[in-house]
Amino acid sequence: MKDLLKDINRLRKERKAVILAHTYQPAEIQELADYVGDSYGLSVKASQLENADVIVFCGVSFMAETAAILNPQKTVLMPEPSAGCPMADTITADQLRAFKAKHPGAPVVCYVNSTAEVKAESDICCTSSNALKVVKSLGDVPEILFVPDQYLGHFVEQQLGRKLVCWNGGCPVHHQLTADIIRDMKAKYPGYKVMVHPETTPEAQAEADHILATGPMIELVRNSNDQKYLVGTEEGILHALKGAAPQKTFVHISPLLVCEDMKKTTLEKVKRSLETMETVIKVPQDIADKARKSIEAMLKL
């Protein structure tokens, strides 16, 4: 392990590389990374990188695509290119075009957990941490289309008191967290505050004390006086939570909340990626130009 890390550090210095990792990545990848964050934080960081020639993205494919779109002059590497996102696969560009045709003139808010092609067909992107702000920014228009996560869309509806036209997509990992699971864990751990991700179902959200994206979850535990938490999102966040508030207690709410795609990245794959400069993530120019507009519209907020 020590030699492996030494090789990675040497290679990233030689390549002028920066390593970005999502909070759902394995703990050793988070420890290695120059920056760890949720999809919003990583989107912002990717747009600010000036001194790096290479971005090594430890996450899933749509995240690496976003980094490539925002940094067309840099080389974006993905150590495990097969790491995809089932939620992103729930809608295609053709399906979105058909959806838009049924609702002419309606702006499209696209969750960043989507392909570049879908972003290119959208007006503005959002993440789970800024979805409310993004939808509010569109004003009092008759209809807003929200793709692809219906449950994040429903959460926004509840918070803003307005109806959205939501695509019937979502995260199969977060969907496994049921209200019954939460109630059982609350009975076993009385007094623990329950945090769930807005990708969970409305029934699960109704049992929670806090409905938060991963970045805001970390901020909450860092600043709150509460000492014990049941954590209702992908288990990789536990490493970041413990780092942010080591004196507090965290219990993962269900072993079902593990994303296999997020766990595909390994230290060996990061090293190989830097050695071989593979796999390079590229987005076709026409798609990248359109998708960049929807991402930058979000970042400007």
Question: In this predicted structure, what is the pLDDT of residue 177?
Answer: 98
- Where does CATH 3.40.50.10800 sit in the chain? 2-84+262-282, 88-166, 174-258
**Using the 8-state DSSP alphabet, how is residue 169 labeled?**
B
Per-residue tokens: 116: 């570049």
- Ramachandran quadrant class, 26 (left: phi over 0; alpha: psi -120 to 50; beta: rest): beta
Put simply, whether the predicted model's pTM sits higher than 0.85 gets the answer: yes
Count of CA atoms in the C-beta half-sphere (13 A) of 159 = 20
The CATH number of the structural domain formed by 174-258 is: 3.40.50.10800
CATH topology of domain 2-84+262-282: Rossmann fold (3.40.50)
Question: In this predicted structure, what is the pLDDT of residue 42?
Answer: 85
Written as tens digits, the pLDDT of the chain (301 aa) is: 789 999 999 999 999 999 999 999 999 999 999 999 987 788 788 888 888 999 999 999 999 999 999 999 999 999 999 999 999 999 999 999 999 999 999 999 999 999 999 999 999 999 999 999 999 999 999 999 999 999 999 999 999 999 999 999 999 999 999 999 999 999 999 999 999 999 999 999 999 999 999 999 999 999 999 999 999 999 999 999 999 999 999 999 999 999 999 999 999 999 999 999 999 999 999 999 999 999 999 999 8
Q: Is the domain 88-166 a CATH 3.40.50.300 member?
A: no
Per-residue tokens: 117: 């092609």
pLDDT digits (tens, 9 = 90+) for 11-60: 999 999 999 999 999 999 999 999 999 877 887 888 888 889 999 999 99
